[in-house]
Structure 1
């Protein structure tokens, strides 16, 4: 091996060691480790979980808002067959205004924003949102309306998720995306 080649290898080796030292120092002194603060949050805003979850990770309550007996239990079975975690099923606790003209109403809080988006696709984006800012859990209440026929197929759900209008993907008022969940 010639002296020029040895010198070139030494120079490349030294540069590689210097680069590794800089990377190591950068990783050790990283000030962004831990929790990030959402840059678009205003004072009093709640952090929203906007992740589109898989059905097996979505918790729901199914309520029948119609006069049809047994609708909640039938839909509970349909959701369970699609791997949703159904916590409760039964008649709606009280009469919901406008439910007879709706396919469904989906009630959710800041921790259920992404789950709401997925569930809305199962109703072909025709379910009405009812955001509850003070809600602390990630469960979504599904209240079946008079216009409900059936849940969408997996293909229809995927199409509905890909064809969401920009308005439906906006964050609810007084929330901002949680950067630690993105």
Structure 2
């Protein structure tokens, strides 16, 4: 070719290779990761030098609520050996009062009078039985004795003197509660109640 299209000299035009976009994306992600790590490390150092406020706040949330604390004291329930029980039979079954009194004695109770129930109760008690005692026995002797006879009705007489309690057996009586179950019931009665959980100052 000649004229204005003639090629002269020893230099030739060169084509620039296309930029690799993948490499640019990788560099951008790497830079972002490095910045993130540096920022996280900076926050940790700030927490260390400022006393770890975030950790303290988190700890306070877990420690604000305290465990339920027991009540001031345990109920003062008397031992069976300090309870005197009169056993009366209000049923038509013979020997029931004596047999029951013997069982209570084996469980440690002191036995007073044993015999038939008074006229006001004789053949008139349809349930398991009635526990009768002075007002002072309401939260002491009566609950302990009631644990031996499930379903018995508890009554108090304000005019009654002394500390003995009566066990009046009714038509629904079959047998005393098993001794192990009775002991468990007494232990639950004596267990201290728990107070509601409280919060520490500053929560």
What band does the TM-score fall into relative to the shorter chain? Answer: 0.5 to 0.7
Shift of 1:120: 0.5
The answer to whether the Cα contact below 8 Å between 2:90 and 2:170 also exists between their aligned partners in 1 is yes
Q: Which residue of 1 aligns with 2:105?
A: 80
Q: Which residue of 2 aligns with 1:58?
A: 83
Q: Matches of 2:168 and 2:181 in 1, distance apart?
A: 21
> 1:163-178, aligned counterparts within 5 Å?
none
Query: Relative to structure 1, is the Cα distance of residues 150 and 128 closer, same or farther in structure 2, using a 3 angstrom cutoff?
Result: same
Q: Which residue of 2 aligns with 1:116?
A: 142
Please tell me whether residue 141 in structure 1 is matched to residue 188 in structure 2: no
Please tell me whether residue 130 in structure 1 is matched to residue 155 in structure 2: yes
Equivalent residue in structure 1 for 2:93, among 55, 68, 78:
68
> 1:5-84, aligned counterparts within 5 Å?
51-84=76-109
Q: Matches of 1:98 and 1:133 in 2, distance apart?
A: 25
CA RMSD of aligned residues (A): 2.2
| Deviation larger for 98-107 or 115-124 | 98-107
Query: Relative to structure 1, is the Cα distance of residues 138 and 74 closer, same or farther in structure 2, using a 3 angstrom cutoff?
Result: same
| Deviation larger for 90-99 or 146-155 | 90-99
Shift of 1:98: 8.0
Q: Using CA pairs below 8 Å that are at least 6 residues apart, which structure has the higher relative contact order? A: 1
Q: Which runs of 5+ in 2 are unaligned?
A: 1-74, 191-203
Shift of 1:110: 2.2
TM normalised by structure 2 equals: 0.52
Query: Relative to structure 1, is the Cα distance of residues 81 and 52 closer, same or farther in structure 2, using a 3 angstrom cutoff?
Result: same
The answer to whether the Cα contact below 8 Å between 1:99 and 1:105 also exists between their aligned partners in 2 is no
The answer to whether the Cα contact below 8 Å between 2:90 and 2:123 also exists between their aligned partners in 1 is no
TM normalised by structure 1 equals: 0.57
- Secondary structure of 2:147's match? helix
Q: Matches of 1:69 and 1:93 in 2, distance apart?
A: 15
Q: Which has the larger radius of gyration?
A: 2
Q: Which residue of 2 aligns with 1:96?
A: 121
Q: Matches of 1:61 and 1:75 in 2, distance apart?
A: 11
Q: Which runs of 5+ in 1 are unaligned?
A: 1-49, 170-182
Q: Matches of 1:106 and 1:155 in 2, distance apart?
A: 21
Aligned residues: 115
